[in-house]
């Protein structure tokens, strides 16, 4: 959304910034442009929100590579809070944006030595290692981080992504199971676990994936990706060397998943192509023959 900066008062811009902070929206370009056009000269009117806005502008300007804007805001905070570790973190982020990674790491290490309970600089270290393609080192750092901050869901999720990038699916599944402990009712986490187990392959993992996909569908019946995953798992089990009863159960569940996919895609799309895709899936299941062992 584009804004006519001349028509907005400083209080309207302040309220916009506040809304974006509360909604966790970056809106980096808008933040920087509105800051320069409206708020920069009116910052003394912001009261208690002034420092929050300055931090918001720093992050937005680094996103947009507006280094001079970030430096000016960092300078303001440095004068008001000399020696602040929080301000030091923004200095490290500026160095990171300038790709002076070694200097940024040194500064982050200094912050960690002063306050070992500070999670933010540790996360920035991991982000730098990841940005430089040093995935193995990033994994090692993140594992050390999680020994101290075991309840950090975002860190477990990030570690899962790093293991997936390395092709270590068993460890990725373990990390996602840790995330599931914190969010047992999230259909997306069950879906992701199903995808990881399905990728690992083998009848045992396929059956586990089927359970995760089933739970994802139970939590959100509109999750088409989980329905399709459930359908694929049932297809594998139906054509495997599992017992006849298991294969019959899988075929029945797969046909139900296919009917749900058909019903939901017909509601969402009137495109003839979607019906062709469904027919292709139906034919794939129709070609599976159940034979007793």
User: Per-residue DSSP letters for the chain?
Assistant: ----GGG--HHHHHHHHHHHHHTT---HHHHHHHIIIIIGGGGGG-GGGHHHHHHHHHHHHHHTT-HHHHHHHHHHHHHHSTT-HHHHHHHHHHHHHTT-HHHHHHHHHHHHHH-TT-HHHHHHHHHHHHHTT-HHHHHHHHHHHHHH-TT-HHHHHHHHHHHHHHT-HHHHHHHHHHHHHH-TT-HHHHHHHHHHHHHH-SHHHHHHHHHHHHHHHHH-TT-HHHHHHHHHHHHHHHTSSS-HHHHHHHHHHHHHHHHHHHHHHHHH---HHHHHHHHHHHHHHHT------
Q: How confident is the model at residue 39 (pLDDT cuts 50, 70, 90)?
A: confident
pLDDT at position 3: 64
Those residues whose C-beta lies under 8 Å from the C-beta of residue 105, and which sit 6 or more positions away, are: 125, 128
How deeply is 10 buried, as exposed, middle or buried, from its count of CB atoms within 10 A (0-12, 13-18, 19+)? middle
Q: Are 139 and 167 in contact (CB under 8 A)?
A: no
Query: Per-residue pLDDT for 74 more than 60?
Result: yes
Query: Per-residue pLDDT for 273 more than 90?
Result: no
Residue 57 corresponds to which tokens in the numbers above?
Answer: 């502008």
Q: How far is CA 267 from the centre of its chain?
A: 29
The region of weakest confidence among 19-28, 145-154, 267-276, 279-288 is: 279-288
pLDDT at position 291: 46
In this prediction, residues 140-160 reach a mean pLDDT of: 94
CA dist 289 and 293 (Å) reads 12
Query: Per-residue pLDDT for 30 more than 80?
Result: yes
Q: How confident is the model at residue 237 (pLDDT cuts 50, 70, 90)?
A: confident
Q: What is the mean pLDDT of the chain?
A: 87
In this prediction, residues 76-105 reach a mean pLDDT of: 93
Query: Per-residue pLDDT for 6 more than 80?
Result: no
Query: Per-residue pLDDT for 88 more than 90?
Result: yes
């Amino acid at each position: 959304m584009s804004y006519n900066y001349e028509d907005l008062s400083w209080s309207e811009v302040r309220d916009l910034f506040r809304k974006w902070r509360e909604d966790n929206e970056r809106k980096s370009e808008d933040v920087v442009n509105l800051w320069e056009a409206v708020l920069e000269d009116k910052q003394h009117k912001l009261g208690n929100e002034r420092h929050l806005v300055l931090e918001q502008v720093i992050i937005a300007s680094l996103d947009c590579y507006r280094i001079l804007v970030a430096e000016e805001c960092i300078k303001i905070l440095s004068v008001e809070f000399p020696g602040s570790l929080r301000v030091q973190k923004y200095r490290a982020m500026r160095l990171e944006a300038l790709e002076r990674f070694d200097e940024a790491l040194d500064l982050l290490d200094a912050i960690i030595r002063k306050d070992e309970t500070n999670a933010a600089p540790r996360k920035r270290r991991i982000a730098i290692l990841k940005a430089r393609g040093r995935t193995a080192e990033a994994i090692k750092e993140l594992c050390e981080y999680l020994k101290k901050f075991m309840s950090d869901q975002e860190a477990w999720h990030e570690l899962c992504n790093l293991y997936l990038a390395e092709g270590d699916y068993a460890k990725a599944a373990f990390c996602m199971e840790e995330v599931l402990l914190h969010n047992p009712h999230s259909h997306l986490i069950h879906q992701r676990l199903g995808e990881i187990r399905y990728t690992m392959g083998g009848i045992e993992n396929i059956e586990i994936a089927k359970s995760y996909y089933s739970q994802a569908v139970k939590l959100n019946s509109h999750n088409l990706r989980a329905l399709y995953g459930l359908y694929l798992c049932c297809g594998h089990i139906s054509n495997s060397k599992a017992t006849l009863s298991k294969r019959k159960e899988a075929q029945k569940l797969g046909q139900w998943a296919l009917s749900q996919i058909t019903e939901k895609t017909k509601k969402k799309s009137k495109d003839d192509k979607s019906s062709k895709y469904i027919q292709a899936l139906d034919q794939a299941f129709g070609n599976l023959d159940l034979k007793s062992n």
